[in-house]
Amino acid sequence: MEPLTSAGHTLYFESGLVALKNLIESHQYSKVFVLTDEHTSEVCLPVFQSFLEDFQEFDLIETAAGEENKNIDFCIGIWKTLLDFEADRKSLMINLGGGVITDMGGFIASTYKRGIDFINVPTTLLSQVDASVGGKTGIDVDTVKNMVGTFTLPQMVFIETEFLKTLPPRELLSGFAEMIKHGLIADKAYYERLKTTDYLNPAAIDIYRSVEIKNEVVTIDPHEKNLRKILNFGHTIGHAVESYSLANDENPLTHGEAIAIGFVCEAALSIKNSTLTQPELKDISEYILSLYPKYHIRKESFDSLLELMKSDKKNEDGNILFSLLESTGKCTFNCRVATADILSSLEYYNSL
C-alpha cells in the first residue's frame, strides 16, 4: 500500500518496516531504544525484530501495561533510564505498543533533553486507526486523561496488520469503534462498508481509509482550534461514561464500548440540535447495539456524568461543547446543547 504523508512525516502501511531499517542505517543515531509494555515485548517484539531481519542493536525499555500506567511516575522512571543508558539528543526511541505506549513514549521522547526523534509502531487497532496520526502525545495526571502532553510528530509511523493477530477480540472491537466514527463523521460509504465487515479481521484497506480521514482533518487543523473537533464525535458523552465506568464498574467499559454509547447518545442529540434524521438515528443505534454489549447508564450517575463533561479538555469558558452529526457522514462542531437534551439522550440510550 502507498505510504501516506502527514504534516511532514510519513505513515507506512504493510511495508515491513523497510523504511525504518533505511532510516536507522542512514541517520547514524547514537542509540536506539525500543519502548514496550509487558505484553507487547512478548508478542509484538519478536514480530518487529523479524520484520527487521533480526534487528538486535537496541536497548529495550519495558513498562507495565494499561492506562493506569500512562502517568508521570513512569515518565520519570523512563527519563532516568534513558539517562542511565546515556541517551543523547541523537538517540532514537521506537514506541512499540498500543496507544498507551505511543502516547507516553511520544511524550517522553518529545521532552527528554527537549526532544529526541521517535517512531511509532502502533500494535492495537485503536492506536493504528487513531493514535497513529495527529501528533498528540500525552499522559494522565491523577485520573485526568491526557492532562499533560505535547503536539509532536514522530519521524515515521508503521502500520502492520500482522501485529493485530495476537490482539484480544475485545480490543479489536474497541478500536473498531473509532473506524465507525470516521465513517459517521466523514464518509457514509465507508460507514456502510464497515457494516459488512468482520471486526475480528480488519482489512488494511479499511485501516488506511480511517487514517486517511483522520489525517485530512488534522492536517487542516493540527491544534484542534476548529475542524479537528469533529473527531470528538461520541467522545463528550463517551469519555464521561468511560471515566464513570472506570471508577465504579467491576469490569469497566473499554474506550470503544464507551464511545459507541456516545455515538448513540450524541446522534440522538443531533436530531434536536442539528439536522440528523430519525431514520439515520435508528440505523446508527441498531448497528451499534448489534456489535457492542448493551450497558445500563445508571440514573444516579447522571449528575456525575454532567460534571465529567464539564471538565472536558475541549470546553471553553465552562460550556459543554458537542460535535454533532448533520447527517450520516457529515459532522459539525462547537454545538451548545441544553442540559435537559443531554439527559434525554442518556435516557434514549437506556430505552433501546
Ligand X SMILES: NC(=O)c1ccc[n+]([C@@H]2O[C@H](COP(=O)([O-])OP(=O)(O)OC[C@H]3O[C@@H](n4cnc5c(N)ncnc54)[C@H](O)[C@@H]3O)[C@@H](O)[C@H]2O)c1
- Tell me whether residue 223 or residue 299 sits nearer to its own copies (CB atom): 223
123 binds, among ligand X, its own copies, none (CB under 5 to 8 A by kind): ligand X
247 part of the interface to its own copies, by CB under 8 A: no
Q: Sketch the per residue contact string, 106 through 125, with ligand X: x for CB under 6 A, - otherwise.
A: -----------------xx-
80 binds, among its own copies, ligand X, none (CB under 5 to 8 A by kind): its own copies
Chosen residue from 92, 101, 276, 325 binding ligand X by CB under 6 A? 101
The DSSP letter of residue 133 is: S
The answer for residues whose C-beta is within 8 angstroms of residue 258's C-beta and 6 or more apart is 238, 239, 241, 242, 245
Partnered with residue 139 across adjacent β-strands are 148
Q: Sketch the per residue contact string, 84 through 103, with its own copies: x for CB under 8 A, - otherwise.
A: --x-xxx-------------
CA distance 5 to 95: 19
Pairing of strands 92-97, 117-122: parallel
Element (H, E) at 335: strand 330-336
**Grid cell of 15 as nine digits:** 511495508
Site of grid cell 538517540? 91
What are the strands of the beta sheet with 156-159, ordered from one edge?
A: 4-6, 9-13, 156-159, 117-122, 92-97, 32-37, 59-63
149 part of the interface to its own copies, by CB under 8 A: yes
Chosen residue from 19, 23, 65, 291 binding ligand X by CB under 6 A? 65
CA distance 92 to 33: 6
Helices 169-186 & 278-291, crossing angle to 10 degrees?
170
7 part of the interface to its own copies, by CB under 8 A: no
Partnered with residue 37 across adjacent β-strands are 63
315 binds, among ligand X, its own copies, none (CB under 5 to 8 A by kind): its own copies
Among 72-80, 129-137, 307-315, 332-340, the segment contacting ligand X (CB under 6 A): 129-137
The residue among 186, 342, 329 whose CA lies nearest residue 273 is: 342
CA distance 178 to 181: 5
Chosen residue from 138, 154, 183, 234 binding its own copies by CB under 8 A? 138
Chosen residue from 1, 76, 203, 220 binding its own copies by CB under 8 A? 76
Among 33-41, 121-129, 146-154, 203-211, the segment contacting its own copies (CB under 8 A): 146-154
Partnered with residue 32 across adjacent β-strands are 92
Among 9-17, 81-89, 162-170, 261-269, the segment contacting ligand X (CB under 6 A): 162-170
The residue among 129, 134, 102, 131 whose CA lies nearest residue 118 is: 102
166 part of the interface to ligand X, by CB under 6 A: yes
Interface of this chain with ligand X, residues 223 to 282, rule: CB under 6 A:
255
Burial of 340 (0-12, 13-18, 19+ CB in 10 A): exposed
CA distances from 105 to 35, 75, 119 (A): 7, 8, 9
67 part of the interface to ligand X, by CB under 6 A: yes
Binding site for its own copies (CB under 8 A): 30, 72, 76, 79-80, 83, 86, 88-90, 107, 110-115, 136-138, 141-142, 144, 146-151, 223, 311, 313-318
Binding site for ligand X (CB under 6 A): 37, 39-40, 43-44, 65-67, 70, 97-101, 103, 123-124, 126-127, 130-131, 134, 136, 145-146, 163, 166-167, 171, 174, 255
